[in-house]
Amino acid sequence: MSAKKTEIEIYDTTLRDGAQSRGINFSLEDKVRITKRLDDFGVHFIEAGWPDSNPTDGEYFKRIKKHKIKNARIVAFGRTRAKGRTCAKDATIQALLRAEPDALTIFGKSWDLQAEQVLKVSLKENLKIISDTVKYLKKKGFFVLYDAEHFFDGYISNAGYAVDTIMAAADAGADRIVLCDTNGGSLPSFIAALVCEAVSKTGAVIGVHAHNDSELAVANTLAAVEAGATHVHGTINGYGERAGNANLCSIIPNLMLKMNFKCIPKKNLARLRELARFVCELANVPMPGNLPYVGDYAFTHKAGAHMDAMKKMAHSYEHIKPLLVGGSTGTVVSDVSGRSNVIELAGQLGIDITGDAHKRTVRAVLKELKELGYGGYRFEGAEGSFELLVRKHLGVRKEFFSLEGFRVVVDKRASEKIYSEATIRIEVPDGKEFMVAEGNGPVDALDNALKKALLRFYPSLGEMRLIDYKVRVLDERDGTAASVRVLITSTDGKGVWGTVGVSENVIQASWKALVDSIEYKLLKDGL
């Protein structure tokens, strides 16, 4: 082992290729929140979208400039120029420039048949398209990554030509050449051999972009790294079209803990599980319990013989210490089950509960988290609710109001507009308040009524706005009725925060999340 570890660049494409997953559609706000988390975590590149493919992606590149991104380069994705058109006159290319990202990834054809049958250009013309596009973007001053689409299939079809395409990109000055196993059908040994050849022939920094169609995406990525690739593409939880992309949540710990490479800052690895769950919540899809490293069952033992051996020898059935990736042995329902996680997460929110003085508080928080976790609560994406919970146990949570009751009515007549109104009765500092409001649906009406009732005492609530609302039905367990978990995202124009509520009744769950959101805002304002 060398004294200095090789660094492998992590290129996250959750927001672009991951968003190709069936059932996953990120909102603009989701994209911004995930970008900030990935940046905090320490990935090197964040591929955020295709500027001219849809309005959300276009808007994203404007919005993200208002945020401070500390480590990562924000990447826009697009294709090489269209045939018979110059880059200057290609609308897609121009949209890439206008997005003003930190880096650009463009994909081109490495497979001879694809160039001829899909692009309908000659092989020679295809090389010129690649070369022209890279040169043009480099001249415009961009950091350019070239995605060699179908490189491995292309090599089987016409090895010499596939290599010519990446030589064209390298000669034109591409900063990274990424070999894509677009169809996910290649085997590790083949990937390794071709990465070797690409490294030696181009002299460029070679990357790999793998898909999981053969359940080999992680292995193919590691094989590429062993063969000399130093740049890897993937997504959080392996999200992506068909069987998904290479899963960064497995690749990163494998590279760092088992192969001794450097990727993200070492101390951040313990936040892997938290990151995985955060993205999962915003994607609004269930988290498979058996996901390696980050799933609820990743370190959970069912066999009696295993549990017994674990007692006698702690690492009997664990391939790594779970804490290294933010997990814990036997984690089942609670997402933040260790003391250190609680302290760490509170620290991130600016609450110091380290040291002996806070031992009891940490224990109490942990106990409540476990109980809530069992009831279906998850706090990823709901930092607001988590902070309120910690503050409650620190004895510094305040009650701003208390509920006497509410009623929501939704009315619809044949073709007329639907109408939602809520009445609410709360106790406030100087007595009782009774208020009515309407809204786009019962939760919105309730939110409006509550804010209207409180505005006289807390004028800053006027700045608040609900920007996302997600509902998830939880599994039925042991004959009890199904619960729903509601995740609310709010903003006051300065910050964005998430809160959570769980109940058998969706309005009740929403109410809990709403109340947390308002309390959190008042707390932030120092009230």
Give least dist CB 173 to its own copies, A: 25
* 173 contacts its own copies (rule: CB under 8 A): no
Q: How far is CA 72 from CA 39, 41, 101, 229, 245, in A?
A: 5, 10, 11, 19, 20
Give least dist CB 398 to its own copies, A: 19
User: Among 21-29, 86-94, 195-203, 428-436, which window interacts with its own copies (CB under 8 A)?
Assistant: 21-29
Give least dist CB 141 to its own copies, A: 27
Only one residue has tokens 């001219």, namely 52
* 35 contacts its own copies (rule: CB under 8 A): no
Of 351 and 506, which has the nearer Cβ to its own copies? 506
Of 270 and 309, which has the nearer Cβ to its own copies? 309
Radius of gyration, alpha carbons of the chain: 26
- The size of the interface with its own copies (CB under 8 A), counted in residues, is 120
Q: How far is CA 137 from CA 82, 147, 168, 199, 489, in A?
A: 14, 14, 14, 23, 38
Give least dist CB 445 to its own copies, A: 10
Q: Which of 250, 341, 361, 490 binds its own copies (CB under 8 A)?
A: 250
Give least dist CB 139 to its own copies, A: 26
Q: 4: phi > 0 → left, psi -120 to 50 → alpha, else beta; which?
A: beta
* 151 contacts its own copies (rule: CB under 8 A): no
* 320 contacts its own copies (rule: CB under 8 A): yes
User: Among 123-131, 167-175, 282-290, 351-359, which window interacts with its own copies (CB under 8 A)?
Assistant: 282-290
CB atoms within 10 A of CB 109: 27
User: Among 66-74, 167-175, 182-190, 513-521, which window interacts with its own copies (CB under 8 A)?
Assistant: 182-190
User: Among 36-44, 94-102, 294-302, 348-356, which window interacts with its own copies (CB under 8 A)?
Assistant: 294-302
Distance of CA 84 to the CA centre of its chain: 38
Give least dist CB 502 to its own copies, A: 12
Q: Which phi and psi (to 5°) does residue 242 adopt? A: 55, -120
* 405 contacts its own copies (rule: CB under 8 A): yes
Per CB under 8 A, which of residues 441..500 are in contact with its own copies?
A: 441-444, 467-475, 477, 481-482, 484
* 409 contacts its own copies (rule: CB under 8 A): yes
* 319 contacts its own copies (rule: CB under 8 A): yes
* 302 contacts its own copies (rule: CB under 8 A): yes
Q: How far is CA 192 from CA 151, 177, 197, 264, 401, in A?
A: 13, 15, 9, 23, 63
Q: What is the DSSP string of 151-210?
A: HHHHHHH-HHHHHHHHHHHHHTT-SEEEEEETTS---HHHHHHHHHHHHHHH-SPEEEEE
* 291 contacts its own copies (rule: CB under 8 A): yes
Q: Which residues pair with 469 in a beta bridge?
A: 488
Residue 185 CB contacts under 8 Å (≥ 6 apart), including other chains:
152, 153, 213, 214
Of 141 and 431, which has the nearer Cβ to its own copies? 431
Per CB under 8 A, which of residues 218..247 are in contact with its own copies?
A: 218-220, 222-223, 226, 238, 241-244, 247
Question: What does the DSSP 8-state code read for residue 211?
Answer: B
Only one residue has tokens 């008042």, namely 522
Q: What is the DSSP string of 456-524?
A: TT-GGGGG-EEEEEEEEEPPP-TTPPPPEEEEEEEE-SS-EEEEEEEESSHHHHHHHHHHHHHHHHHHH
Of 88 and 118, which has the nearer Cβ to its own copies? 118
User: Among 66-74, 124-132, 167-175, 317-325, which window interacts with its own copies (CB under 8 A)?
Assistant: 317-325
Per CB under 8 A, which of residues 353..382 are in contact with its own copies?
A: 378, 380-381
CB atoms within 10 A of CB 144: 22
Residue 390 CB contacts under 8 Å (≥ 6 apart), including other chains:
342, 346, 349, 351, 353, 361, 365
Q: Which listed residue (306, 315, 319, 393) is catalytic?
A: 306
**150 in active site:** no
Q: Which residues are catalytic?
A: 306
